[in-house]
Structure 1
Amino acid sequence: MERFYLITGGVDWIEKLVPHGVKLVQLRIKDQPETEVCRQVARARDFCRQHGTQLIVNDYWQVALELGCDFVHLGQEDMDSADFAALRKAGVRFGLSTHDEAELDRALSYKPEYVALGPVYPTKLKKMKWAPQGLERVQRWKQMVGQTPLVAIGGLTPERLAGVFEAGADSAAVVTDILQAPDPVARTQEWVEACKP
């Protein structure tokens, strides 16, 4: 699994940042009509294919199926309605969000491509009902997930990266630190460099 995992809020961000060395990107669209979601997912799919980048579609698993995308990310609520049999039949891989042990047990029962744990640090992105998990929780999660890749998310910066990887995360998912940076392109390049093994 790629060590650097960019999460963006729209296809425009993908077209702006992916050419700067991003090999794993999530398209996380919120509060848009389905026609707009489909338009963005299709554009992102084609753009990522041209750049050899793995696109992961957040939440909209039906759209991903219809448009021939091969990877989705689902939160706990999305798992209630997702048709995992249809995803598997179509060869669509999926990553799942977790915040506590009950959610982790549930996620692992689906045999996901990866498990995400967050927020590791305080995050500005959205109001969270979970307190920051910290690096000890990352270590514990790594022991519990076994061979399943572990994605750390929430409040990550290049300065915090070494500790996150040392704690056992396989991949660092980044949203705010890039999208709210004064120069998102330069910040993306910094992350790509920082995540090199």
Structure 2
Amino acid sequence: MSALPQKIYPVVDTAEWVNRLGAAGARFIQLRVKDYAPDKLLAEIRQAHQYAKQHGVCLVLNDYWQIALDEGIDYLHLGQEDLDTADLAAIRKAGIRLGLSTHSHEELDRALACNPDYVALGPIWPTRLKKMAFGPQGVEKLTEWKKLIGDLPLVAIGGISFDRLPACLDAGADSVAAVSDFTQHADPEGQVKRWLAEADGGLTQP
């Protein structure tokens, strides 16, 4: 099982954030775009993909598996509900790597049956950015998940700030995702550099 591209994993909602954070050193970025008209959505994803290639970023597209197929995106991130409709065989045939969200043992079992390239557990702490059906998981659950999945990479997400990064890594997360700690920070580029330094250089080799 290949390692993830980086120990830090910003989640952003525009192509410009891929440009800014990629230029600052982030190499593993998820684009999570919501409520765009189809033409604008495709243009935004294409622009993000262009910026990703420009900066050497491994781009992860949230949800839109058909566009990921059409555009040759590196990674796809799907929630449990997306598994009901996504064509996993086509995704695999295209060589797109797959990350899956999990919140419970049942969801983890379902995710592992799909042979993903990573699983995400969340929310680790309470988050206001997204309505969640599940309460905070806590860092102890990261340790439990890591024991269950072995060499499969584990992503921590949900309510994570710079100060909470070390606890997630120590608990077993291979990469740590955050939204507002980057995009709502006064100095997003500087925050990327802080996260990378705290994550012991950030880079891991596949």
TM bracket (short chain): over 0.9
Amino acid at match of 1:24: F
Show the counterpart of 1:191: 195
**TM-score after normalising by structure 2:** 0.92
Match for residue 45 of structure 1 among 43, 49, 53: 49
The answer to whether residue 125 in structure 2 is matched with residue 121 in structure 1 is yes
TM-align CA RMSD: 1.1
The answer to whether residue 100 in structure 2 is matched with residue 96 in structure 1 is yes
Match for residue 8 of structure 1 among 9, 12, 22: 12
Show the counterpart of 2:137: 133
Greater relative contact order: 1 or 2 (C-alpha under 8 angstroms, separation 6 or more)? 2
Secondary structure of the 1:148 match is coil
Q: For 1:117-158, what per-residue CA distance to the aligned partner results, in whole angstroms no more than 9, with x for missing partners?
A: 000011121121211100111111101111110000011112
Gaps (5+ residues) in structure 1?
Answer: none
Q: CA deviation at 1:70?
A: 2.5
Match for residue 81 of structure 2 among 77, 80, 93: 77
State the percentage of identical aligned residues.
46
Q: CA deviation at 1:104?
A: 0.3
The answer to whether residue 183 in structure 2 is matched with residue 179 in structure 1 is yes
Gaps (5+ residues) in structure 2?
Answer: 202-206
The answer to whether residue 148 in structure 2 is matched with residue 144 in structure 1 is yes
Show the counterpart of 2:172: 168
Q: CA deviation at 1:60?
A: 0.4
Distance 1:53 1:179 in 2: 17
Distance 2:11 2:200 in 1: 18
Q: For 1:66-123, what per-residue CA distance to the aligned partner results, in whole angstroms no more than 9, with x for missing partners?
A: 1111211001111110000001111111100000000000000011010000000111
Task: Give the conservation status (yes or no) of the 8 Å contact 1:124–1:176.
Answer: no
Amino acid at match of 2:154: L
Distance 1:34 1:63 in 2: 11
Show the counterpart of 2:113: 109
Q: CA deviation at 1:183?
A: 2.3
Secondary structure of the 1:5 match is strand
The answer to whether residue 30 in structure 2 is matched with residue 18 in structure 1 is no
Number of aligned positions between the proteins: 197
| Regions of 4+ moved over 3 Å | none
Show the counterpart of 1:59: 63
